C-alpha cells in the first residue's frame, strides 16, 4: 500500500512535468496514462489487493490521480490547439461562409397549408398513382366510355384501347384517389387527396398541361349539403381570412348530384373588379357536390344508408390568389429569381 502511494505521487510529478509539442506526442501521453492499458487503469487494478478498511480512502486517491491525468491532457490539448492555429495562420475573425438555404416551392407552401387546414377538420391524406386505369379515373366516377362529359377533361392516354375501359392514362383529377379509397375502406371516410394531374391543354399563362389538385371526400350517415358548405366556408376563411365572401352556383359533374361550383370574393381587387376576376369581383375556386348514388354503389356502399360530399380544387388557383401570380408557367420554369421570393411559413 505504502509503495503504491509512492508510485502514484511520483507519477503525478511525472505528469505535471509532461509536455507535448505535436499531436503525436499528445496521443502518446493519452495512451501512456489514460489508454485502456495505461497507468491509471493499471493502478486501479491494484484496488483488489487493498484491504477492505482502506478501500474507500484509496478509491478517492485513485480518482484524484485520474483527474490529474485528465486535466493535464486537456491542458496540453488546449496549448497545442493554440500554437497550431497560430502556425497555420487561421484567422477566426474572418466572416463565415454563407450557406445557401433553399426555399420551399410556392405550390408546396400552399398545398401544405391547405392540407393542414383540412387535417384540423379530421381529414386524412390519401395518395395514389399518377398513371391510372380508365376505371379509377372515369368509369367508377360515373363516366362510362361513351359519356360526353369525358370531353370536359382532355386526357393524355398512355395506352389507348379499342375498348376505352381498358385504356391507361395520366389521371385528369385526383378523384381517382377517392375511387381507390372507396375501394379499400368502409365509411366513415374522410380524406383529402393532394396530387398532380394532367390535361392535354396548350400551355399559356392561364392553362398548363399539368397542375395540382386537392380533392376531398366525406362519406358517413347523414352527411348533408350544409356540411359541405360549412366545411368549405371554414377552409376559405382559414386560407384567406374571415372577411372572405363565398357564393355557390349550380353546376354539373357526373360524379356528384347536386353539384355546385364555389366562388370567393376576389382577393386581388377585394371585389372592385380586376383582370383576375374578369371585373366581376368573384373568382371560381372549386367544384363540389353530393356524391352520386351510382358512385357509392360502384364501391358497394349503400346509398340508402350513407351520403357524402366531395370537392376538388386547383392548388395553382389558390396560390395565384394568395401570391398574385398571374402567369401559371412561372410555377414550373424553376427560375430561382421567382422561387426565392417565397419564404417558408
Ligand atoms: N374532379 C373535379 C375536377 O377535377 C372536381 C370535383 C371533385 C368536382 C369532386 C366535384 C366533386 O374538375
Distance between Cα 91 and ligand 1 center (Å): 62
DSSP letters spanning 233-275 = HHHHHHHH-TT--EEEEEEEETTEEEEEEEEEE-TTTTTS--T
Distance between Cα 110 and ligand 1 center (Å): 19
User: Nearest residue CA, atom 8 of ligand 1?
Assistant: 287
Q: How many CA atoms lie within 13 A of 131 on its CB side?
A: 6
Angle between helices 315-323 and 106-120 (to 10 degrees): 110
- pLDDT at position 54 is 86
Of residues 276, 252, 251, the one with CA closest to residue 264: 276
Return the best residue to mutate from 153, 255, 290 for the ligand 1 pocket (most ligand atoms within 8 A of CB).
255
Answer whether 254 contacts ligand 1 (Cβ < 6 A): no
CATH number of 106-339: 3.30.930.10
**Going residue by residue through the chain (345 aa), what tens digit of pLDDT does each one get?**
788 889 899 999 999 998 888 888 888 999 999 999 999 899 888 888 888 888 888 889 999 999 999 999 999 888 887 665 555 667 788 888 888 888 899 999 999 999 999 999 999 999 999 999 999 999 999 998 888 777 767 899 998 888 777 889 999 999 999 999 999 999 999 999 999 999 999 998 888 999 999 999 999 999 999 999 999 999 999 999 999 999 999 999 999 999 999 999 998 888 788 888 889 999 999 999 999 999 999 999 999 999 999 999 999 999 999 998 889 999 999 999 999 998 765
98 DSSP 8-state letter: P
Answer whether 215 contacts ligand 1 (Cβ < 6 A): yes
Report the atom number in ligand 1 closest to the C-alpha of 259.
10
Distance between Cα 297 and ligand 1 center (Å): 19
Q: What is the CA radius of gyration of the chain?
A: 36
- pLDDT at position 86 is 53
- pLDDT at position 291 is 98
C-alpha span between 105 and 111 (Å, rounded): 10
Answer whether 288 contacts ligand 1 (Cβ < 6 A): yes
Q: How many CA atoms lie within 13 A of 243 on its CB side?
A: 5
Answer whether 253 contacts ligand 1 (Cβ < 6 A): yes
- pLDDT at position 84 is 56
Return the best residue to mutate from 253, 307, 315 for the ligand 1 pocket (most ligand atoms within 8 A of CB).
253
Answer whether 155 contacts ligand 1 (Cβ < 6 A): no
What are the domain boundaries of the chain?
2-87, 106-339
Q: Which residues contact 105 (CB under 8 A, 6 or more apart)?
A: 331, 339, 342
Return the best residue to mutate from 175, 181, 223 for the ligand 1 pocket (most ligand atoms within 8 A of CB).
175
Answer whether 187 contacts ligand 1 (Cβ < 6 A): no
- pLDDT at position 81 is 77
The structure's pTM equals 0.72
Distance between Cα 104 and ligand 1 center (Å): 27
3-state class percentages of the chain: helix first, strand second, coil last, to nearest 5: 45, 20, 35
- pLDDT at position 114 is 98
Amino acid at each position: 500500500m505504502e509503495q503504491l502511494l509512492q508510485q502514484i505521487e511520483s507519477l503525478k510529478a511525472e505528469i505535471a512535468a509532461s509536455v507535448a509539442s505535436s499531436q503525436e506526442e499528445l496521443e502518446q501521453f493519452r495512451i501512456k496514462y489514460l489508454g485502456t492499458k495505461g497507468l491509471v487503469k493499471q493502478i486501479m487494478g491494484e484496488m483488489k489487493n487493498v484491504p477492505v478498511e482502506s478501500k474507500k480512502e484509496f478509491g478517492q486517491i485513485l480518482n484524484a490521480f485520474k483527474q490529474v491525468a485528465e486535466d493535464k491532457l486537456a491542458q496540453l490539448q488546449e496549448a497545442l490547439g493554440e500554437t497550431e492555429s497560430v502556425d497555420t495562420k487561421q484567422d477566426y475573425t474572418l466572416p463565415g461562409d454563407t450557406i445557401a438555404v433553399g426555399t420551399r416551392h410556392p405550390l408546396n407552401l400552399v398545398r401544405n397549408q391547405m392540407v393542414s387546414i383540412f387535417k384540423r377538420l379530421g381529414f386524412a391524406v390519401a395518395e395514389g398513382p399518377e398513371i391510372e386505369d380508365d376505371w379509377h379515373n372515369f368509369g367508377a366516377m360515373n363516366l362510362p366510355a361513351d359519356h360526353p362529359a369525358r370531353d370536359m377533361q382532355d386526357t393524355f392516354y398512355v395506352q389507348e384501347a379499342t375498348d376505352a375501359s381498358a385504356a391507361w392514362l395520366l389521371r385528369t383529377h385526383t378523384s381517382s384517389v377517392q375511387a381507390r379509397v372507396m375501394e379499400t375502406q368502409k365509411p366513415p371516410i374522410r380524406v383529402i387527396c393532394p396530387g398532380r394531374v394532367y390535361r392535354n391543354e396548350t400551355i399559356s399563362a392561364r392553362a398548363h398541361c399539368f397542375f395540382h389538385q386537392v380533392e376531398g371526400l366525406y362519406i358517413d350517415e347523414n352527411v348533408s349539403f350544409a356540411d359541405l358548405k360549412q366545411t368549405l366556408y371554414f377552409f376559405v376563411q382559414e386560407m384567406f381570412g374571415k372577411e372572405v365572401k363565398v357564393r355557390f352556383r349550380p353546376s354539373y359533374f357526373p360524379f356528384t348530384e347536386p353539384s355546385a361550383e364555389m366562388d370567393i370574393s376576389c382577393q386581388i381587387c377585394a371585389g372592385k373588379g380586376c383582370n383576375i376576376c374578369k371585373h366581376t369581383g368573384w373568382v371560381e375556386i372549386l367544384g363540389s357536390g353530393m356524391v352520386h348514388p351510382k358512385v357509392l354503389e360502384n364501391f358497394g356502399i349503400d346509398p340508402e344508408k350513407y351520403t357524402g360530399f366531395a370537392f376538388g380544387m386547383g392548388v395553382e388557383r389558390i396560390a395565384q390568389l394568395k401570391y398574385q401570380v398571374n402567369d401559371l408557367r412561372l410555377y414550373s420554369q424553376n427560375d430561382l429569381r421567382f422561387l426565392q421570393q417565397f419564404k417558408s411559413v
